[in-house]
Structure 1
Amino acid sequence: MAGAGTTSACDDHLDELAISIQSRFEGLSPPSDCCIFTVPERLRRKNEEAYTPYIIAIGPYHHLNPSLMPMEDLKLRYLQNFLQHNQNYRLKDYIEKVNSWEGEARNCYDKQIGLNSDQFAEMMLLDGIFVIQLFLMCRYHQRRLPNDRIFSNHQMSTVVRRDMALLENQMPFFVVQRLFEMAFKTHRPPMLELLELVWSFFGPIIWKKNLPKLVMESEVKHFVHAISLSFWPSVREVPNERSKEMKFSPSATELVAAGVKLRRGESKCLLDIEFENGVLDIPCLIPDELKESYFRNIIAFEQFYWENKYLTEYFAFMEHLVESPGDADLLINKAIIENWLSNKEAAVRKINTISREALLSSNYHFHSLCDKLNKHCQRHYNKWKATFKRDYCSNPWVVISVIGAVVLLLLTVAQTVLSALSLK
């Protein structure tokens, strides 16, 4: 009987646990279109500052950071200026609209936001109008406020642009888009007009003057998403079963030793690396502190959102290409790397840590390229030819000596042959 009582008590406990778990089902949000993520610790610990805003918070993740609060007054001034120039709707109308998007906006974040409905709506409205005003002031100087804190100081505008390109400092693009459409109903599609303003503002990051077709055709989720699309290669291979074995490139020193000629590529896209007829074309890379922040945040975004992790794989490729200061020196001399850092060692460390701890896709973008480079280096003829050029064709006097030796050898052979024939 004691055993039966114990069994019954155990069943009751399991029933209670099951009921407790089931009751929590009701509190779950519906499947979300999550696109704004917190940076994983494995990436963050490599460079904490690269993911942290310096002066302004956009969205909820850094909203209550005391060091960023001074910029909240500027957001209010921008909202006031916005309402003065756009009187089709009252402030109440904008609040009502933003409030109706709350659930959709919250679902874009990868963790729950500890703000009530009013606080969330106020944050989204202030941040959304702020970025719209910022884009307009960047393009149209006459819209700027007198003694504007951002545009009167070049360094300040650079830092704001940098902060707005952080993964944890994003707001859903659809909120900005809908606010923009409410205020500016132009003859052109409002979405296209807004993307052009975004492109104009982030131009110093993107290095592309024209708005790429890929961005226009994509459902942009936020600013990091838009910037990441600008780094996609011009030609994207169709996924197949080629990536059975992950292969990386030999180092720059090894490539040159095997006769590969390094050349600065003309493409503005970092991923447009080509190897044809013994020439490796690599677009220019500038590994400074500011661009490192952009690169790291795009890579963090790729870890969650993309099947193809293009920028992650680019830096994995470069990490194996630049393994030592000697490798960096080769690329710097060819202007493939513009080193704005203190020395070659700093450039190597920067390149080798940007994608460290990041996961690659199963369909490594540079698989075919690395396969070509490895096969080239494995051919003994290529190494022999490169060694011959280096040792015997390095300067005119060596070339003359080699030619003289060859001529002397040929004359000696000819004389021997003639002597042998005369004996007959």
Structure 2
Amino acid sequence: MEMEMMSQSDDFSIDIDGNNQLAYNNAVVNEWECCIRGQETTKCYDPKRRIEKVPPLLLKGEKGHKNHEYYEPAVVSLGPYHKRSPLVHDAENYKRITLEEFRLSSGTTINLLHDKVFEVVHEARKCYINGSTKDYNDQEFNRMMLLDGCFILFFIECISHANNKFLLNNEYLGALGFANVTRDIFLLENQIPFVVIQVLLDLRFPDDKGEDVLNGFFNYLNYGEVLRKDEKVFQNNKQALHLLELYRSYFISFSTSLGRGGSTSSSMWHKCCKEPLYENEDYDYVKRNRSFASVMELKAKGIFLKRTHKKSLNEDIKFHSNCCYGELQLVPRAVSYNTKAIYLNMIAYEMCPHNPNDFRVSTYIRVMKSLVIQRDDVKELRNTNILLHSLGRDEEVVKMYDEIDAPAVNIYMFNQLRKGIEKHCRSKYKTWAAELINVYFSSPWKTVALLVATAILFTNFLSTYFTIRPLPNESDDNILRRCARLHPPPGPS
């Protein structure tokens, strides 16, 4: 009763710097809108970006509980967040081995490596959330950054250069340990600031050769093999906060777009800038989030899969509606034991606060969840060399996509793709043409059978027609007389 009287009688006030807060809010909105549109961000406000922890809401619910283990390191802890975990204790000794190997490869000394990392130690400390590094003084924190950075780069170099020293992982971590190192490197809570990696990378690979090493390693994750592509790793993200962010920007490739085909990404985004970002349907949750047909259902509607052959670009998904058929273009992707953890942590990165982004990975996963719902869908993706998986059975791929949750997507990108597919499927003559192709021209034998049946039908038609209306049976004399009447002899000259 006393509290109620107090609330009614006492004045309540909050001191807010209205002008500054309003300007900050407008800058935040512009930053997010530029990211969603695919434009260069304004960078006109301090986003307070940190190496975040996994948002708690992602860990709730049935899928969140099942996927909890995919956010925690299995064999190696990087950074301060999981340093005390007993599960990763064995890797601490192995880090010293990789430090020595990295020193020998770099042709330098431990003291020089230590001093170079110490130059950015204060900047690196600011990259973690408040209070997470208070148990470490500068020397201890610097040593942790040095050991973790050398461990990461030694592993990446072994994979990218096919160096058989990666077998040291088997010796110190075991064969299963090696299989889990890749996933641990790309966990959101297991990141170290990229400024540390950049310093060590420049020492080990001068003249920007370190970018080629990252290029090969990222392509190993994308395609299951080490490739040297023309696209540069730092082209789209020169100020990466950590390695996961850098790989995400390479995975989605900002130079291309996920949307309806026919036009380049730049022209599509230019058009987007002239149109409202949100339409009335975008505020309808059911319409906005509804999925489209799976791979086999799209095939029945005359929409066929096509592998993007330009490996110089990490194109996502494009749809082209042609005269009598549709074409869904997908870049080939490798799916392995580590893929689920990497996807989940890239999505978790996109869900973090103070992190303007365009939800490209979440959108890509939502599209794949729509396309892959049964074993035959995976089989079709395999047959077109779009999906390269090493999970054993196709059912495991279906299960993987089903267990990954993508709570938010880029509304514009997802709707553009979905609307293009739905418009194609609503066209009657295109679906009829698709049915004709699927039923009669899906294999050479069906085509031959159709031609033979058509020939037989045409022969029967001619036979029936001439039975009803036979050819005239006249003698040669009658024919000669008829010809004479038609062509009288010429007159005398």
1:262 partner letter = L
- Give, in angstroms, the shift of residue 82 of structure 1: 5.4
The residue number in structure 1 matching 2:328 is 280
**C-alpha displacement at 1:67, in angstroms?**
1.4
Unmatched segments (≥5 aa) in structure 2: 16-44, 258-264, 282-287, 472-493
Determine if the alignment matches structure 1 residue 125 to structure 2 residue 146.
yes
Aligned position for 2:131: 112
Give the aligned partner of residue 49 of structure 2.
Answer: 34
| Structure-2 residue corresponding to 1:405 | 457
Percent identity over the alignment is 24
Structure 1 residue identity aligned to 2:70: A
Q: Does 1:194 align with 2:210?
A: yes
- Whether the aligned pair in 2 keeps the contact of 1:321 and 1:327 (CA below 8 Å) is yes
TM-score in terms of structure 1 length? 0.75
Per-residue CA distance 1:81-137 (angstroms, 9 max, x = gap): 65677787773x765665564543233234530523244333223223433444556
Instruction: Decide whether the 8 Å contact of 2:105 with 2:204 is kept in 1.
Output: no
> Could you tell me which residue of structure 2 aligns to residue 221 of structure 1?
241
Q: Is the 8 A contact 2:75 2:181 kept in 1?
A: yes
User: 2:390, 2:162 → 1: CA distance?
Assistant: 31
- Give the CA deviation at 1:172: 0.4
**What secondary structure is seen at the aligned counterpart in 1 of 2:335?**
coil
Partner of 1:24: none
Tell me what 2:309 maps to: 266
Q: Supply the AA of the counterpart residue of 1:363.
A: Y
**SS in structure 1 at match of 2:305:** strand
- TM-score with structure 2 length normalisation? 0.66
Count of aligned positions = 392
Partner of 2:351: 303
Q: Which residue of 2 aligns with 1:316?
A: 366
Does 2:298 correspond to 1:255? yes
Check conservation: 2:378, 2:394, Cα contact below 8 A: yes
* 8 Å Cα contact 1:270-1:285 kept in structure 2: no
- Is the CA contact 1:37–1:167 (under 8 Å) kept in the aligned structure 2? yes
* Offset, 1:384: 2.1
Which string of whole-angstrom CA distances, capped at 9 and with x for unpartnered residues, describes residues 256-286 of structure 1?
2222233333244361434353233333344
Judged with a 3 Å threshold, the aligned counterparts in structure 2 of structure 1 residues 276 and 418 are, in CA distance, closer, same or farther, namely: farther
Partners of 1:315 and 1:352 within 8 A in 2: no
1:302-352: CA deviations, max 9, x gaps?
233352122211121121122333433443444433454354433222223
Deviation at 1:416, TM superposition (A): 8.1
In the alignment, the residues of structure 2 paired with residue 363 and residue 415 of structure 1 have an alpha-carbon distance, to the nearest angstrom, of 65
1:291 aligns with 2:339: yes
Among 391, 399, 422, the alignment partner of 1:349 is: 399
Change in Cα spacing, 1:33 to 1:95, as seen in structure 2 (3 Å) is farther
Counterpart Cα distance in 1 of 2:205 and 2:328: 48
Query: Displacement, 1:174?
Result: 0.6
Paired residue secondary structure (1:363): helix
Q: Which residue of 2 aligns with 1:63?
A: 83
Q: Distance in 2 between matches of 1:144 and 1:326?
A: 40
Equivalent-residue separation in structure 2 for 1:86 and 1:386 (angstroms): 60
Structure 2 distance, partners of 1:358, 1:48, is 16
Bigger Rg, structure 1 or 2 = 2
Q: Secondary structure at the match of 1:289?
A: coil
Of the structure 1 ranges 73-82 and 309-318, higher mean CA displacement relative to structure 2 is found in: 73-82
Query: Are the equivalent residues in 2 in contact too, given 1:55–1:160 (CA < 8 A)?
Result: yes
CA contact (8 A) 2:186 2:244 kept: yes
Mind listing any 5+ residue stretches in structure 1 that lack a counterpart? 19-29, 420-424
CA distance in 1, matches of 2:123, 2:243: 18
CA distance in 1, matches of 2:95, 2:348: 28
Which among 370, 392, 402 is matched to residue 418 of structure 2? 370
Listed as ranges, the matches of 1:200-219 within 5 Å are 200-207=216-223, 208-210=227-229, 212-213=231-232, 215-216=234-235, 218-219=237-238
Q: Name the counterpart of 1:25.
A: none
Instruction: Please name the residue that 2:407 is paired with.
Output: 358
**Contact 2:375 2:398 (C-alpha < 8 Å) held by counterparts:** yes
Q: Say what the alpha-carbon RMSD is for the aligned residues.
A: 4.1
Residues 98 and 125, structure 1, Cα contact 8 Å, conserved in 2: yes
| CA distance in 1 between partners of 2:179 and 2:295 (Å) | 34
Task: Give distance in 2, aligned partners of 1:316 and 1:111.
Answer: 33
Q: How far off its partner does 1:59 sit?
A: 0.7
The change in CA–CA distance for 1:301 and 1:403 in structure 2 (over 3 A counts) is farther
- Give 1:167 shift: 1.5
**CA 1:77–1:322: 2 relative to 1, 3 Å:** closer
How much does 1:377 deviate? 0.9
- CA distance 1:333–1:416, shift in 2 (3 Å): farther
